[in-house]
Chains A and B, each alone.
Chain A
Amino acid sequence: MLENFSFRTIVEYLPLFGQGLVTTVWLSALSFLGALAVGIVLCAMNLQRGWLFRVPAKAYIDAVRATPLLAQLYFLYFGLPRLGLVLPELVVGILALSLNSGAYVAEIIRAGILSIARGQVEASVASGMTYVQRMRLVILPQAFKVTIPPLLGQAIVLVKDSALLSLISVAELTRAGQLLASDRFMPAEGFLTIAAFYLLLYYCLKGLAALSARWLGTAGARL
């Protein structure tokens, strides 16, 4: 049993956990921005009529969705130096998370755009709007409402996925737990503490998702 559970050691390591938590938060935030950028570009390519942009975008999305993030992470981590790109682990990690989540974000945005009733598009065409006007004034404002809750769901997935970066020795939250576990042979103290921190982040994002669903009036946002 855990009769030797040492709260004192946890308190002693609290600065390390704090640093890990902060790193996890900002690297997740940065990766999420990257994922949005990747997702928007992929989605724009995917919605083109011609095959030239659509096919590569679809292939990329399928390839990302059918392979594990860990294999993608190792692909970049061991593969980029081969191309002469020697980047710090942290940068490789953010890149991997952005490229991975971007594929899912692209699908979320696409579903949002396709959820707009066809009549709306036809009406704006009939009103003589250009493609850009149609997107900016009719489709995107409505699609925005539908996409926010699932995007926050993707943010939750991203924060949890960022734990894998500890395997390429990025000093984030899980790494802090591993350090305590291996330095002091206290896995219970290390891993239970980081689990609690991740739960904290999870409930924050979940609360935000619930709030946004209420503000936007989109029902049925289940995370």
Chain B
Amino acid sequence: MIWQQFVSLAGSYPLALRGLGMTVMLSVISLVLGTLIGFALGIVRTGGNRLMAGVIGAWVDLIRGTPFLVQIFLIFFILPEFGIELDAFTAGIIALTNLAACFICEIVAAGIRSVPTGQVEAALASGLSRLQRMRQVVLPQAMRIVLPPLVGQYVLLIKDSSVVSAIGLTDLTRVGWLVVQRVPNGLLVFFLVGVGYFIVCYPLILLARRLESRLGAAHGEVQL
């Protein structure tokens, strides 16, 4: 009985690999796009323009205040009403990128605010342009604060990508759901699904922890 299940499970390994590939692809694409957009939004948010900052803040609040599942449904089912036809993959990428951008925007804004104003004033006094100021003075210092939560956010993003299985994308979670219809051993099947996510996420969690303790150590030096 158990043996049969193992054979049957071993038979579905190409499906599992495809699911893992889909999870990784979704995560990587939306992670890169989300980081780029998130940094841009974070910089604009802390810039002088009140109106832009307000609009971004309101949008971030809308996204943080609603479940990701609802956001996916909204994008997948409602954008077509505006004449934008989407397949499930594109809808998933849009939803995940938007989510990542919003959270990363907040992380980046917090990092930029942590840079002492004296630094910005000194850069101004040295006659650096806006772009130079950002690129050579503010961002390098902000990165120390930004990096640990940024990596933590990537872990959340990879885990959130499992929710896109609700609109029928065959990612790792969906593969588990499909396999469990054939091999009725939910404990084993979803244990293996969990192992798949663990292999991807755990190294990132360890990295975030290391970055955090390094940040703590650096802070200690400054305070002493």
* A positions within 8 Å CB-CB of B: 1-2, 62-63, 65-72, 74-75, 77-83, 160-164, 166-167, 174, 177-178, 181, 187-188, 191-192, 194-195, 198-199, 202-203, 206, 222
Distance in Å: Cβ of B215 to nearest Cβ of chain A? 15
The CA-CA distance from A164 to B71 in the complex, in Å, is 12
List the B residue with the shortest CB-CB distance to A161.
B67
Q: Which of B6-14, B90-98, B133-141, B182-190 contacts A (4 or more CB under 8 A)?
A: B182-190
Q: Would you give 6 A-B contacts (Cβ < 8 Å), ordered by A? A: A1-B81, A65-B201, A70-B162, A82-B187, A163-B69, A187-B73
* Chain A proximity mask over B182-209: 1 for CB below 8 Å, otherwise 0: 0011110111011001100110010000
A187 touches B77 (CB 8 A): yes
Task: Pick the contact of A68: B83, B187, B197 (CB < 8 A).
Answer: B197
A199 touches B65 (CB 8 A): yes
* B positions within 8 Å CB-CB of A: 62, 64-71, 73-74, 77-78, 81-83, 110, 155, 158-163, 165-166, 172-173, 176-177, 180, 184-187, 189-191, 193-194, 197-198, 201-202, 205
Chain A residues in 8 Å Cβ range of B78: 2, 187-188, 191-192
A-B pair number, CB within 8 angstroms = 132
The CA-CA distance from A198 to B66 in the complex, in Å, is 6
Chain B residues in 8 Å Cβ range of A160: 66-68
Known: A70-B163, A78-B190, A187-B73. 15 other contacts (CB 8 A): A66-B155, A66-B198, A67-B159, A67-B193, A71-B173, A74-B173, A74-B177, A79-B187, A160-B66, A166-B69, A167-B69, A191-B70, A192-B78, A198-B67, A203-B65
The CA-CA distance from A199 to B83 in the complex, in Å, is 27
Chain A residues in 8 Å Cβ range of B83: 1
Prevailing SS type, chain A contact patch: helix
Given A187-B78, A199-B65, A203-B65, are A74 and B190 also a contact pair (CB < 8 Å)?
yes
A71 touches B190 (CB 8 A): yes
A82 touches B197 (CB 8 A): no
Given A187-B77, A203-B65, are A198 and B70 also a contact pair (CB < 8 Å)?
yes
